């Protein structure tokens, strides 16, 4: 029986969405595999945003693209 994503366990569709968002943002930010710390920070931020209620792929991409431009 699957647990709720709010308990820290994600459905397969959620994981696929999170992976696509992560991959796209890594590509946009040119984060290579060797940029481990930055990639881990990004993954944490994406999951945190997803858990706070932003569950649409386009909305997640837009939120992080906007944040990155401000930085």
Based on its alpha-carbon atoms, the radius of gyration of the chain, rounded to whole angstroms, reads 12
| Residue pLDDT, tens place only, 7-57 | 567 899 999 999 999 999 999 999 999 999 999 999 999 999 999 999 999
Which pTM does this prediction carry? Answer: 0.80
**Which pLDDT score is estimated for 36?**
94
Position 4 pLDDT exceeds 60: no
Position 67 pLDDT exceeds 90: no
What is the pLDDT averaged over residues 55-61?
97
Please give the Cα distance from 22 to 57 (Å, whole number): 10
Number of CB atoms found within 10 A of residue 28's CB: 12
Please give the Cα distance from 40 to 56 (Å, whole number): 21
CB 18 within 8 A of CB 10: yes
């Amino acid at each position: 029986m699957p647990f709720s994503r709010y308990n820290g366990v994600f459905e397969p569709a959620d994981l696929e969405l999170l992976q696509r968002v992560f991959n796209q943002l890594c590509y946009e930010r040119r984060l290579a595999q060797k940029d481990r710390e930055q990639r881990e920070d990004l993954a944490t931020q994406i999951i945190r945003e997803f858990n706070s209620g932003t569950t649409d792929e386009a909305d997640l991409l837009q939120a992080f693209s906007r944040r990155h431009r401000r930085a």
